[in-house]
Amino acid sequence: MVKQTIQIFARIKPTKQTKTGLYEIDDDDEGCPRLQLIVPRELAAGFINNKKENYSFRFNKIFDQKTLQDEVFACVAQPVIDNALQGFNGTIFAYGQTGSGKTFTITGGPERYSDRGIIPRSLSYIFDTVEKQPDKVYTVHISYLEIYNENGYDLLDPKHEAAKLEELPKVCLMEDADQNIHLKNLTVHQAGSEEDALNLLFMGDTNRMIAETPMNQASSRSHCIFTVHLTCKEEGSVTIRKAKLHLVDLAGSERVSKTGVNGAILTEAKYINLSLHYLEQVILALSEKNRQHVPYRNSMMTSVLRDSLGGNCMTTMIATCSLDKSNMDESISTCRFAQRVAMIKNEVTLNEELDPRLLIAKLKRENAELREQLAMATGEQLSEELSPENIERCENSVKFYLQDSDPEGTLNMGHDLRKIQRCFRILKRYVLEKPQAQPQQVEAFSREPSSLDVGPYRDTETRKLKELLEQRDNEINILVNMLKLERKRASDGQRSALTMASRTSVHSVHNVNSEPLNGHHHQGEAANTSMDNGKGDLINRATSEENIKRQDTFYVSRSTSTTIDDGDSMKAKILGDMSLGRQEAFDIFMRDYRDRDKIEANKQFLKKRYTEAKALGEQLNNSKQKMNHLKKILAQIRIQSEMSDHAGPGGDNQMEVEVRKQVEEEKFV
């Protein structure tokens, strides 16, 4: 709860007349804004004139003639709207004489967009703030009430334009037991956006009673109350905050003797002045501490604004003053009224309540519990069967209880023994339907051997099955051992083949490398011998090279054929002549063996390696054949060079160099 006095502001109307009263805006000793009005004594009153000349009034803030609309909104309305969005009621009303700028301040001017008043700016500010708070859900409803000649009318009634004012349904005041005012026949429209709210405001303003008076060409002849109903709910919260924002444009007071009006305008002026008089009485009663009775019911306007005046509401007042010399007395009266209003204190509370749906569910649960307690206390026993709805409710309650991880969770079915027994039966059914664990079954089987059927037929069948199982186990063990031997022999054969091939290649390369050296050695020794001896050496070397080639080819082919023969013999030795049962057992074993994939992968790997080794052997044989052919050509070239005289002793011609180069290249293939 917050205790706060009504905030008062003063706004001075701009005037084009030169005959402006004397006024001054300054700060008092406490630093509060102060408006000083100076009314000089008239000489016609005589020499003895004790009339007061200087009037001083304190306000929260004073807006001079050049103040813009946005500054007025920021200082006056924005704090009230912020509190309304948080759940506090708020009221802003303008008070002053006719033509002092009340409607311009509250509603705004029609000519420029910057002349918007407090109401349209408040609607824009509300929806902008709502969009910035996505974690909260706001709903906005709008109502527009007109009080004309002490009768209430709905300005948002769609029949307002088509019918006469007297034919429209009147808004009636109704009061409940808590002295809360309810307005009958006043429609409340939901506004989902700023555009919808402004359309409702425009429709209400076009239906207002406006007439031309000597003081104002478009004078408001009625009191209008524009109310914004705000509802706020946070996500995941069970509480709802509600607030009302009243934006009041009061009709202007005027002196009938001064304006000289008559007819309908005179009647309107009487009602306006009377309602403002009752409003002043309420203000005076609230400002007096010892006053027991506050006359709210004297007029409809004071009844509607009961909360705004001395109730649960943050209220702000704007006193509009016209400081022409002819209006100085009315401006002084307005400022005096504002000073009395500032003495009123309102007790503001947060309008927070539980969600009605949650509250209804809570009350229903409490009602059911109280009925069950009453049945237990009276000893009433129910004999009829449970309804299907109650049985289903018991099922759901037990499921929720079993799924609840809270160790302190409870299963509350009230004091009805039928429901309690039904819940016990449901729990028993869940326990019986739950399957037993496998280790417990094995333990029970081992502890109770006497419970098995031990008849003669069962013993014979069991013995046969055991023998068959042992036979299968032996066959599987034999097959596993044979498979291991096969894998070992296959790896040994592969290793021996690779070793033989490497030895053969090394031997051939050694012979090829040593042969040119031997050739040069013999050539050096035969420098002084005859040509026939050199020719014989070359022929012998060619013959030895052919023998080496045949020997190498024999070794490679022999190693390859030996590997293939060993593989076939190994396969025949492993498989042999197996019986049909043994063959079936071997197939089952190979299908279910856990390392079957590894064995297949190793087989594919060995096949790939065998193919690569065979290709390398063929490449080696081709290289050897080519080298032998080149050596023959080299031998012929040497014989020819020795028989001719083109090359000197120990020299080589160009052809011999090229052939040697080709031989060296074949060595590194």
- What tens digit of pLDDT does each residue of 376-410 get? 777 666 667 788 888 888 888 888 888 887 777 77
Residue 308, annotated as binding a ligand? no
Do the Cβ atoms of 186 and 154 come closer than 8 Å?
A: yes
The string of pLDDT tens digits covering residues 237-261 is 778 999 999 999 888 776 665 665 6
Q: Is residue 98 a known part of a binding site?
A: yes
- Joined tokens for residue 630: 């080149």
State yes or no: 260 annotated in a binding site.
no
pLDDT of residue 20: 63
Q: What's the confidence (pLDDT) of residue 379?
A: 63
Please spell the DSSP secondary structure of 503-545, one letter per residue. HHHHHHHHHHHHHHHHHHHHHHHTTSS-HHHHHHHHHHHHHHH
What's the mean pLDDT in 315-338?
88
Burial string for 301-317 (b: 16+ CB within 10 Å, else e) reads bbbbbbbbbbbbbbbbb
Query: Is 257 among the annotated ligand-binding positions?
Result: no
Q: pLDDT at residue 296 above 90? A: no
For the whole model, what pTM was predicted? 0.55
- Average pLDDT (579-602) is 77
Residues 643/533, Cβ–Cβ less than 8 Å: no
Query: Which domains does the chain carry?
Result: 2-354 (3.40.850.10), 355-398+415-433 (no CATH), 470-667 (no CATH)
Q: What is the mean pLDDT of the chain?
A: 77
Pick the residue with more confidence: 646 or 634? Answer: 634
Give the span between the Cα atoms of 24 and 37, in whole angstroms: 7
Residue 349 to residue 388: CA distance in whole angstroms? 48
Using alpha carbons, select from 514, 572, 508, 501 the residue that is nearest to residue 541: 514
Q: What is the 3-state secondary structure (H, E, C) of 608-654?
A: HHHHHHHHHHHHHHHHHHHHHHHHHHHHHHHHHHHHCCCCCCCCCCH
Supply the pLDDT for residue 220.
66
pLDDT average, residue stretch 436-449: 48
pLDDT for the residue 230:
94
Section 169-196 average pLDDT: 87
Contacts (Cβ under 8 Å, ≥6 apart) of 33: 25, 26, 27, 58, 59, 60, 61, 62
Q: At 128, is the pLDDT very low, low, confident or very high (cuts 50, 70, 90)?
A: very high
In this model, does residue 600 exceed pLDDT 60? yes
Task: Answer whether residue 192 shows pLDDT above 50.
Answer: yes
What integer pLDDT is reported at residue 518 of this predicted model? 43
Q: Is 102 annotated as a binding residue?
A: yes
C-alpha closest to that of 336 among 41, 56, 53, 51: 56
CA 445 remoteness from chain centre: 55
CA distance 139 to 449: 76
Q: What is the pLDDT of residues 362-374, one digit of tens each?
A: 788 888 778 777 7
* Residues with Cβ within 8 Å of residue 2, at least 6 apart in sequence: 88, 347, 348, 349
pLDDT band at 544 (very low <50, low <70, confident <90, very high): very low
Mean pLDDT of 269-281: 83
SS3 55: strand
Residue among 110, 165, 157, 147 nearest 246 (CA)? 147
Q: Is 107 annotated as a binding-site member?
A: no
Q: Which residue has the higher pLDDT, 528 or 490?
A: 490
pLDDT of residue 501: 57
**Predicted confidence band of residue 231 (pLDDT cuts 50, 70, 90):** very high
Confidence of residue 90 (pLDDT cuts 50, 70, 90): very high
Q: Is the per-residue pLDDT at 525 higher than 80?
A: no
Q: How confident is the model at residue 639 (pLDDT cuts 50, 70, 90)?
A: confident
> What are the angstrom distances between the C-alpha of 437 and each of 434, 442, 443, 447?
9, 9, 10, 16
User: According to the model, what pLDDT value does residue 560 have?
Assistant: 44
pLDDT digits (tens, 9 = 90+) for 35-73: 988 887 764 455 566 677 788 999 999 999 889 999 999
